[in-house]
């Protein structure tokens, strides 16, 4: 991502607060209710967010020490851990989210400047410099703040984040041969559309409703 580190770290802070606030008022029934992601309750999603913070802590450890510590031991283990988390009380999961996010924040702040260039491998198998890690986290906390389905929308996310996210998804979708140009709508609406999260308020240039793209993230 071309967005600078300070701005990206502030996206992480904003997204973490949006997620924490979103789950703060939930009772057990609220935690057990569906998220916006197919097949996942809010408990699944909060578990995923907490486990993601720990996975990114492993990548920071890898970058600073050179010891290979992957995000997850396997995709099966990652999924099994999310299922197990979804059985726990919601308040435990909310606390896990907060403490893991605070540890990640501390580790990001403490990163030695020369460690950002160290290469690590993501869960998708991409080799990236550690400087991508804050962006990976920003994307998770800001987009999933909406997916928690407690009322946060793309219009609540920072414009600079929406622009950067839209650019990234456009490039990925274009590389996959999908049509992503000529969308008409507000920045939040077009970005939500590109992210596969609703087509409302988005049309093609001739005014026809935009077709929903394939799922993303």
* Interface with Zn ion (CB under 5 A): 140
The rounded distance, in Å, linking the Cα atoms of 96 and 39 is 22
Complex with Zn ion: residue 69 or 122, whichever CB lies closer: 122
- How many residues comprise the chain? 217
The rounded distance, in Å, linking the Cα atoms of 125 and 158 is 29
CB nearest Zn ion: which residue? 140
Complex with Zn ion: residue 140 or 168, whichever CB lies closer: 140
H/E run at residue 120: strand 119-121
Complex with Zn ion: residue 132 or 140, whichever CB lies closer: 140
- Contact call for residues 145 and 192 (beta carbons, < 8 A): no
Minimum distance of Zn ion from residue 143's CB (angstroms): 7
Complex with Zn ion: residue 53 or 180, whichever CB lies closer: 53
Rg (CA), the chain: 17
Name the token pair of 46: 């909060």
* Residue 40 Cα distances to 58, 86, 115, 149, 165, angstroms: 25, 9, 35, 11, 23
Minimum distance of Zn ion from residue 202's CB (angstroms): 23
Minimum distance of Zn ion from residue 139's CB (angstroms): 8
Complex with Zn ion: residue 81 or 140, whichever CB lies closer: 140
- Contact call for residues 5 and 134 (beta carbons, < 8 A): yes
Minimum distance of Zn ion from residue 65's CB (angstroms): 26
Minimum distance of Zn ion from residue 91's CB (angstroms): 22
């Amino acid at each position: 991502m071309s967005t600078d580190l300070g701005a990206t770290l502030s996206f992480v802070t904003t997204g973490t607060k949006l997620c924490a606030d979103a789950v703060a008022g939930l009772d057990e029934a609220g935690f057990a209710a569906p998220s916006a992601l197919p097949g996942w309750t809010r408990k699944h999603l909060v578990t995923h967010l907490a486990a993601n913070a720990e996975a990114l802590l492993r990548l920071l450890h890898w970058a600073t020490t050179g010891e290979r510590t992957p995000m997850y031991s396997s995709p099966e283990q990652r999924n099994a851990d999310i299922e197990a988390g979804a059985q726990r009380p919601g308040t435990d999961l909310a606390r896990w989210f907060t403490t893991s996010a605070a540890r990640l924040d501390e580790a990001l702040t403490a990163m030695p400047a020369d460690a950002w260039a160290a290469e690590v491998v993501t869960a998708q198998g991409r080799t990236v410099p550690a400087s991508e890690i804050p962006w990976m986290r920003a994307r998770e906390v800001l987009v999933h703040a909406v997916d928690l389905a407690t009322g946060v929308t793309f219009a609540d996310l920072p414009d600079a984040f929406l622009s950067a996210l839209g650019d990234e998804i456009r490039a990925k979708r274009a590389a996959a041969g999908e049509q992503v140009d000529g969308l008409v709508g507000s920045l939040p609406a077009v970005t939500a559309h590109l992210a596969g999260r609703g087509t409302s308020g988005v049309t093609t240039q001739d005014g026809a409703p935009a077709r929903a793209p394939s799922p993303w993230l």
